[in-house]
Structure 1
Amino acid sequence: MANREPLKPFLLAFPGPLRDRLVAAVLSGEKVSTSGLLAEYEAEREELPPVGERSALIDSDGREIAVVELTEVRVLPLGSVGLRHALDEGEGYTSVAGWRAAHEAFWHSEEMREALGDPSFTVDDDTMIVAERFRVVERLG
């Protein structure tokens, strides 16, 4: 994609082993959805991405690995996340409970609390999340 417009970064987790696993799952086609906190968009004063937006999937070294296109963006309470979304995250979840436990651990991590500017941040069934579906449209490099 020479001479293309710069793309917004598509960041999964924080740099490190988790991001590396998630990027690999996207590239393999196992991961076609992701979840974020609406509070994170609010803390960063970011608009929600529109369906059709293309972004650059970024690895732990900051390299653009692929171009992904959003196919769906939903805002819903954490307690409403269904099994299809959990399975499509491509991280081996077989239940919503397993998906939720892993995501709560991440969202309650020191790194996430620091990113949100709230050292005691916690989630519950009413916490609003942003559920995104995407597809890889091009591999880079």
Structure 2
Amino acid sequence: MSPEEIATLPPMDLAFGELREKLVAAVLSGEKTATTSLHQSYLAEDQPLPQPGLQRLLGREDETVGLIEITDVSLRRLGEIDDEIAFAEGEGYASVAQWRDSHEDFWHSVGEAEPGTLTDDSLIVVERFRLVSTDLP
């Protein structure tokens, strides 16, 4: 792909700052093959859900550091998230309970959900992806 074609791809921006650096490193190492987000955040921002296909993986300064392919996007209830999804996040979670605590803390800290509002029925967007290339023109 040419640089112009790459620039037209949707961006995947995993968090921000140091957390983004950590998550991008996990994608580049192959440890991270999924990401999760709150469905209500898409609704609040009137944004469509991600679609399968190529995306630009963004680094800390919003530079393109690789190409990924979204292979599947699904909605799951928070109570249906399992160890497999928690492990696919590539952040070293020992269990889905640890994943849930960490994610709820994050969503609360960035204002995506008020404390005490997330339940087992809250909808989570699960994106599965694979790293396609880091060899960019």
Shared fold (TM-score, shorter chain, > 0.5): yes
Confirm or deny: 8 A CA contact 1:36 1:130 kept in the other structure. yes
Give the Cα–Cα distance (whole angstroms) in 1 for the partners of residues 95 and 128 of structure 2: 18
State the Cα distance separating 1:25 from its structure 2 match: 0.2
Match of 1:60 in 2: 60
The TM-score normalised by the length of structure 2 is 0.90
The TM-score normalised by the length of structure 1 is 0.87
Q: Which structure 2 residue ranges, 5 or more long, are not aligned?
A: none
Match of 1:26 in 2: 27
**Distance change in 2, residues 1:93/1:120 (3 Å):** closer
Residues 31-46 of structure 1: matches in 2 within 5 Å? 31-46=32-47
Coordinate RMSD, CA, aligned = 1.7
Read off the aligned partner of 1:88 and give its amino acid letter: A
Give the Cα–Cα distance (whole angstroms) in 2 for the partners of residues 83 and 43 of structure 1: 28
Q: Which structure 1 residue ranges, 5 or more long, are not aligned?
A: none
Aligned partner (choices 10, 13, 29) of residue 12 of structure 2: 10
Give the Cα–Cα distance (whole angstroms) in 2 for the partners of residues 99 and 55 of structure 1: 25
Confirm or deny: 8 A CA contact 1:67 1:136 kept in the other structure. yes
Match of 1:106 in 2: 106
Deviations 1:38-90 (A, max 9, x none): 01111221111222x21111111110111111111110110110110000110
